[in-house]
Amino acid sequence: MTSLHTGSTKIIKSSSNKIITIDRLFDLLLETLGEQFWWPARSKWELLIGAVLVQNTNWTNVSLSLKNLAHRTDFSPKAIRELTNQELQTLIRPSGFFNNKSRALEGILSWTETFNDDFSRLKAVPTDKIRKSLLQIKGVGPETADVIVVYLLDRPVFIADAYARRLFTLLGKETKSYEELQGIVHLSPSFNGTKANELHALIDVYGKQYLRKNTKEIGFLAGYKLDQLLD
């Protein structure tokens, strides 16, 4: 993994060599959309589970599954571990891919068991190490791992998801993979976990509105067209 928050140069260079800083992009997104207050969850357990369920799935479907889980387990890790895989699949059915996701959730709960379900024990563990351990769980890929690092552990990491890649393509930086974009975008020192959290939320909300697969018209950011953002 490349260093993501070590404060090297914070510029995004387009193919035409024009630049926009990640800080300016953040400011324009915030000005355009306002604060998003992600992640919608009342507990770290609900957040962790939602991070898996939302994979390639809209939040409406995830909410239905979360409601089922809340009713049955109150998101107690112990109660969820006591479910059979079949029962878990039934509860999370509305969010799809229940075969894969039930296995991933079981993997996550085995992972938290390694630190006695006590998130405070991760405080001294380096981000890279946590990320690697998460990636060993079947059903947890780079995006889910990073979402957990940012939203659960409040650490500054750039989440290079599909919307981010579409946005950066329009800004002149086309990339073919999650890792490639993540290697290009470096968060500035102004990004703590909270700001990285907000950046991802803003990019996704903007993306849903303007960067959907069949959207032809590209929206504006604080009055600028995307290509006008490049100085």
Is the Cβ–Cβ distance between 7 and 188 less than 8 Å?
yes
* Identity of the residue, 15 or 228, whose beta carbon is nearer to DNA in the bound complex: 15
| Sole binder of DNA in the list 73, 144, 199, 202 (CB under 7 A) | 144
Q: Is residue 111 part of the contact set for DNA (CB under 7 A)?
A: no
Q: Is residue 40 part of the contact set for DNA (CB under 7 A)?
A: yes
* Identity of the residue, 53 or 187, whose beta carbon is nearer to DNA in the bound complex: 53
Q: Is residue 150 part of the contact set for DNA (CB under 7 A)?
A: no
Pattern 41-60, DNA, x by CB under 7 A: ---------xx--xxxxxxx
Q: Is residue 216 part of the contact set for DNA (CB under 7 A)?
A: no
Instruction: Output the smallest distance, CB 18 to DNA, in A.
Output: 25
Respond yes or no on whether the N-terminal peptide bond of residue 39 is cis (omega within 30° of 0): yes
Task: Please tell me the distance from the alpha carbon of residue 90 to that of residue 101, in angstroms, as a whole number.
Answer: 11
Instruction: Output the smallest distance, CB 190 to DNA, in A.
Output: 22
Q: Is residue 86 part of the contact set for DNA (CB under 7 A)?
A: no
Instruction: Output the smallest distance, CB 61 to DNA, in A.
Output: 5
Q: How far is CA 213 from CA 142, 154, 162, 167, 178, in A?
A: 22, 30, 10, 12, 17
| Sole binder of DNA in the list 121, 129, 132, 208 (CB under 7 A) | 208
CA angle 50, 213, 65 (to 5 degrees): 20
Instruction: Output the smallest distance, CB 100 to DNA, in A.
Output: 5
Cα-trace Rg, the chain:
18
Q: Is residue 64 part of the contact set for DNA (CB under 7 A)?
A: yes
80-104 core/surface letters (b: 16 or more CB in 10 A; e: else): bbebeeeebbebbbbbbbbeebbbb
Positions in the binding site for DNA (CB under 7 A)? 38-40, 50-51, 54-61, 64, 93-100, 137-145, 147, 151, 161-163, 176-178, 204, 208, 212-214
